[in-house]
Amino acid sequence: MPFRLVLNLFLLCFSALAVQAQLCAGPFSDPSLVIDFGTTLNPYPTAGKLGAGYGRTTETCTPEGTAELRAQAFMCKPEWQVTPFDHTDGDENGNFLMVSPLPGTTEVYRDTISGLCPQTVFNFQLWVLNLMVAEACDGQAADPNLKIELFDATGAHLAVRNTGTIRKQSRAEWVAFAAQFRSPGSGTIILVVTSVDARVCGSDFGIDDIGFAPCKGGIKAGLEGNSLAVQVCQDQQQAYLMQASYNGFSNPQVQWQVSENGSAWVDVAGANTSSFRREPSEAGEYAYRMRLLENGNNACAFVSNPVQVQVFRKPFAQGTNYVYGCYGFPVNFQASGGTQYEWAGPAGFRSNLQAPSIPRLDFVNAGRYRVKVTNDQGCSDFDSTDLVVYPAPVATLNISDTLICAGDSLRLVAGGADRYLWLPAGGLSNDTIANPQASPDADTRYTVKVFTEPTCYDTASVQVRVVPKAFVDAGPDKFSLRNRMVTLEGRVSGAGVRYRWSPAGPLDNANTQRPKLKALQTTLFVLEAEGAFGCGVLRDTVKVEVIDRLFIPTAFTPNGDRLNDVWEIVAIDLYPNAEVQVFDRWGKRVYQSLAKAYKPWNGKDGVYPVPPGVYIYMLNLGDGSPLRKGSLTVLQ
């Protein structure tokens, strides 16, 4: 008994080693056959392929003991992963086989696969998804464990792959399991998937994309010199010789193929031998491979490794089309189209800047400038531009800094060019001529730009100071009783203004703006002011009228201009018991004053100005004489 047990173990290990010993001597080709279980509109036929005891279901999520094609697992069970897609890349509404296995070890899926290339080493690969989440069954949910077997038509083992426990993941993740085998002469095999030791809670899984990729064997492709890739600028391309070698084939038919910028593989016309010459092309990413058919059988299609040819587009160098500058002035160049720049020009000019400059032009700088523009891939292009240097003008002015009286003007005269521009334009008769008339309102610095062709210029400037003319106001006329003191209310303003009252005799000081005098007789006084720098002589007059009786004005203008701003009854102080009142048209009293504390009316009702119009005054002199009343007009 012990001997037979050891012998059986030996034979089992030897069988497994024999299966796995069929290794591919080179890389594998693209899969020649893939079972992706179709789509919801075109499902893969699974009838008769499910294991004993397994049924089909119309439910969205498979209950225990069922297997069904589904495009997603969404809101199925709280124990399941959310799986919005199958494994197949870009397969819209693609299916996978969703399985909820029976407890224990059961055969889940059996499929007969035909059309494989006979007597060829294949790499078999199957993708599995653990549908369970970590929290399922209070964290005790079983993980799926699968046994994947391949048999020939006689039942002989070709390969076996035990997945072991497929662990739960934090999200839905497909895991690949692979094995190598040699196909039988018939090209037909049997695939069996068995669920091992499944439990009631857990073990649910999905399978998808069962692929069979033939071994390339000795098929190798490359460029002349055995290079597998080349990167080249578009304008530096040459014809590249693509070469491929292969062995172990009895009747091969070859065809070179190309994939441009990741697109599908297409045949290269006329490239039916082990080598072909690739001619220069447009910029892009190209992959080349050789496809080999054994005995013209599409089931026996093998492809070589890809050979990469990356053609970089050369930059489009653009330099400033035409550059001109003025002697003594800076000039700027500009280029675009790349990431690196190399400039060269007259007088030893060199620069690696995209936008270099010459800070002060000389005539030796004139000539052709050439720029080399290079992109990130090291491809270059060239452009050039011509620099023309023009003489610069010299601006002149007829006057230096000066001053004028306010309201006067002066003529500015510039020279040195054919075109002119004055700044600021305010106060000038014309800002684009050589000799405008200037009438500034305030101190102004005028600058003139003088231009020659094309735009060379120079500037000159002059400060014009505006001296304000004198302002003079002799003040409001005065009414007074004889021998009373009167104060004149003159005003004078302006820098450096000189002024004087006349006649000076009656005044206490003829050189002050508010002189005093004793009113002896009606007199007309003149306030004369002369501005600084001879800027005008101005005069204003005021009348001091001496009266011996009561005088009641009938209008006044309370507008703040210091002329008739108040309504004042002259000689009211001769009547110490007098009282005066003013009423509006509705009978409201708007003003009242007593002679003992008399104040002229300022045209306000309290603190608010009364509106213009006609008002009624009443004057009681308090001496037994009749009440005096009349109309009073308030003007703006």
Confidence at residue 25, expressed as pLDDT on a 0 to 100 scale = 66
**Residue 87: which pLDDT band, with cuts at 50, 70 and 90?**
very high
In the chain, the percentage of residues whose pLDDT exceeds 90 is 67
Which residues have a Cβ under 8 Å from the Cβ of 80 and sit 6 or more positions away? 61, 73, 131, 132, 133, 136, 204
Give kind and range of the element (H or E) at residue 423: strand 419-423
pLDDT, mean of residues 584-612:
93
**Residue 216: which pLDDT band, with cuts at 50, 70 and 90?**
confident
Confidence at residue 604, expressed as pLDDT on a 0 to 100 scale = 95
φ, ψ for residue 309, nearest 5 deg: -125, 115
pTM comes to 0.54
Q: Higher pLDDT residue, 588 or 497?
A: 588
Mean of the per-residue pLDDT values of the chain: 90
Q: Which amino acid is at 294?
A: E
**Residue 298: which pLDDT band, with cuts at 50, 70 and 90?**
confident
Confidence at residue 136, expressed as pLDDT on a 0 to 100 scale = 86
Confidence at residue 90, expressed as pLDDT on a 0 to 100 scale = 81
Query: Could you give the domains of the chain?
Result: 15-214 (2.60.120.260), 220-312 (2.60.40.10), 318-390 (2.60.40.10), 396-467 (2.60.40.1080), 471-547 (2.60.40.10), 555-634 (2.60.40)
Looking at the predicted structure, is the pLDDT value of residue 246 above 50?
yes
What does the pLDDT look like over 461-470, one tens digit per residue?
Answer: 999 998 888 8
Which is it for strands 174-182 and 266-267: parallel, antiparallel or unpaired?
unpaired
What does the pLDDT look like over 487-528, one tens digit per residue?
Answer: 999 998 877 788 999 999 999 999 999 999 998 899 999 999
Looking at the predicted structure, is the pLDDT value of residue 153 above 60?
yes
Residue entry with tokens 């003013």: 582
Cα separation, 237 vs 233, in Å, equals 6
Secondary structure class of 574 (helix, strand, coil): helix
**Residue 26: which pLDDT band, with cuts at 50, 70 and 90?**
low
What does the pLDDT look like over 262-291, one tens digit per residue?
Answer: 889 999 999 999 999 999 999 999 999 999
Q: Which amino acid is at 367?
A: G
- Provide the 8-state DSSP code for 59: S
Confidence at residue 156, expressed as pLDDT on a 0 to 100 scale = 95
Cα separation, 407 vs 633, in Å, equals 38
Give kind and range of the element (H or E) at residue 3: helix 2-20
Cα separation, 237 vs 257, in Å, equals 20
Yes or no: say if 208 and 173 are a contact pair by the CB < 8 Å rule: no
Cα separation, 339 vs 363, in Å, equals 31
**Residue 138: which pLDDT band, with cuts at 50, 70 and 90?**
confident
Cα separation, 29 vs 125, in Å, equals 13
**Residue 354: which pLDDT band, with cuts at 50, 70 and 90?**
very high
The pair of structure tokens assigned to 530 is: 């002369």
Of 191, 278, 281, the closest CA to residue 243 belongs to: 278
Confidence at residue 219, expressed as pLDDT on a 0 to 100 scale = 87
Q: By CB neighbour count within 10 A (0-12 exposed, 13-18 middle, 19+ buried), where does 550 fall? A: middle
**Residue 348: which pLDDT band, with cuts at 50, 70 and 90?**
very high
